[in-house]
Structure 1
Amino acid sequence: MGGIGKTTLAKVVYNKLSNEFQDCSFIADIRESSKRKGISCLQNQLILDILKGNNHVSSIDEGIRIMESRFKCKKVLILLDDVDEIDELKTLVGKHDWFKMGSKIIITTRKKSVLDYAEVNCTYELKEITMDKSLILFSRHAFLRDSPLCGYESLSHEVVTTTRGLPLALEVIGSFLWRKKQVIWQDTLKELKEVPHEKVQKKLKISYDALPSKEQQMFLDIACFFIETYSRIASYMWDDCNLHSALGIERLSFMSLIKIGYNHEFIMHDQLRDLGRAIARQEDYHDLMNRSRLWVHEEALKVLQTNKVIVTSIVDLLSFYMISLD
């Protein structure tokens, strides 16, 4: 999941190990860079870092040939940050025998399938940080100290509780609230309870945008209706709608957008839940009848009552027309 601190932790490990290796390379933000610059550009960076020479490659295949033949004698440390596709792994680090024994390759990704393909020796899944540590992290950005200022304790605890241990949210929201008056804090807290802070939402939405349309619909359904619900209940509906529930659930899990609990229930981080509901609201902010999903009881009841009035009006009009004909 985006914003949980994968890159930060990986860089700490990379920097700690770098003194043990002569040849190191850190390729940042591969998901975005590969789209903007192309894989060949990333290959050039990797080759330059490891071989220390100007070996410009003009094609992906050429880059693979150079790395496969010339990296074998190199004991390397490589950090591949935010790998999104298996093809990115194939073209940047290929197979284990590309490198000398003792080499280490660190991979951060949102997709467990990438790690499965890489046949990694060790995996570490980051968890949300605890309440105490969340408050410290938030305070460092909101107050430039390890604890809230006097008078802001209650508000700080509410904000931290709302973010539920997501480091990116704590950092961005804390930075936004720095030196703000309490009235701004209160308004921000109200907004946070409806939807994540704008920058956090944009970051989290990367994973959602990468989903095929069918999985997007399933994600929105879970966010709006099926959190902590037995997964099979939703699957019956999705299968009837030709959404291929088994494949979709697996993909959502690989993307770390949901988890399946011990009782086969859907689990979703609150920030992701709020993101999904914000997307549903954006279908029409003003007219509830134009939204595909309504999860607030009062809003759903309002739409049903409105529809009842419309149906009654049509029936009355038809009755009047029939009476006039007679």
Structure 2
Amino acid sequence: MGGIGKTTLAKTIYNKLSNRFEHRSFIADIRESWKRNGIHYLQNQLIDDIMKPVNKVRNEDEGTKFISSRFKCKKVLLLLDDVDNIIQLKRLAGNHDWFSSGSRIIITTRNKEILEQARVDYNYEREVMDDNQSLVLFSKHAFRRDSPPRGFEDLAREVVSITKGLPLSLEVLGSLLCGKQLAFWRGKIDKLKKVPPKEVQEKLRISFEALDYQ
């Protein structure tokens, strides 16, 4: 499920482990980047992060061969974010023996079957937040405090209901509404109520990006 904070959690772990590894790479938003640029683009990003080579790999077969043969003696920390196809894993981190002992590979995905196919050593499934947790997180972003101020309690709970406990949606909507008047809140909430639940997160993303350009 998108929006439950998988990437945020993975980045936190990655940052805490980073100082233990000389070689590390964080490849973000693989699902979208693969569609736009192809797997060899992601392979080049990984290779650049680890080795800083002069030449780029020209295709995915060349990239796979390079990674699987040249990283064997390197202890790496690798974060593969938003993987949605097993081919991506096979081309970026195909087997344990591609990297030196002690390497760590962190994968975020919306599809548990990918992790099963990859036979990962440990699987952590993040759950959505309950209403109280959601209200606290939303309040931190909307009001810079742990609870809504007087006059905003009901509206804040409506937001919690709309976002279904998804941390990313709570953070985005909280930032969007922060410092706004009640009328703006009501207008935004009324619009989101008319959007099908599956489209709420995309609607929030677009709204937040538009806000950045204003």
Shift of 1:202: 4.7
Structure exhibiting the larger radius of gyration computed from Cα positions: 1
Q: Once the two structures are aligned, what percentage of the paired residues are identical?
A: 59
AA aligned opposite 1:188: K
- Conserved 8 A contact 1:160-1:170: yes
Shift of 1:71: 0.8
Corresponding residue of 1:108 = 108
SS for the counterpart of 2:68 is helix
Shift of 1:139: 1.3
Corresponding residue of 2:65 = 65
- Conserved 8 A contact 1:135-1:147: yes
Corresponding residue of 1:126 = 126
Query: For each residue in 1:264-318, what CA deviation from the matched residue of structure 2 results, as whole angstroms up to 9, or x when unmatched?
Result: xxxxxxxxxxxxxxxxxxxxxxxxxxxxxxxxxxxxxxxxxxxxxxxxxxxxxxx
Mean Cα deviation higher: 9-18 or 148-157: 148-157
Corresponding residue of 2:193 = 193
SS for the counterpart of 1:159 is helix
SS for the counterpart of 1:147 is coil
Shift of 1:36: 1.2
Q: Distance in 1 between matches of 2:15 and 2:110?
A: 22
Shift of 1:198: 6.7
TM-score with structure 2 length normalisation?
A: 0.87
Alignment RMSD (CA, Å): 2.1
- How many residues were matched structurally? 204
Corresponding residue of 1:148 = 148
AA aligned opposite 2:119: E
Structure 2, unmatched stretches of 5+, are 206-214
Shift in alpha-carbon separation, 1:197–1:40, aligned structure 2, 3 A: closer
Structure 1, unmatched stretches of 5+, are 205-326
Mean Cα deviation higher: 147-156 or 7-16: 147-156
AA aligned opposite 2:12: V
Shift in alpha-carbon separation, 1:203–1:115, aligned structure 2, 3 A: farther
After superposition, residues 40-79 of structure 1 pair within 5 angstroms as 40-79=40-79
Mean Cα deviation higher: 33-42 or 138-147: 138-147
SS for the counterpart of 1:24 is strand
Corresponding residue of 2:97 = 97
Q: Distance in 2 between matches of 1:203 and 1:112?
A: 25
Q: Distance in 2 between matches of 1:171 and 1:105?
A: 27
**Relative CO higher for 1 or 2, CA cutoff 8 Å, sep ≥ 6?**
2
TM-score with structure 1 length normalisation?
A: 0.58
SS for the counterpart of 2:171 is helix
SS for the counterpart of 1:25 is strand
Shift of 1:191: 3.5
Moved over 4 A (4+): 196-199
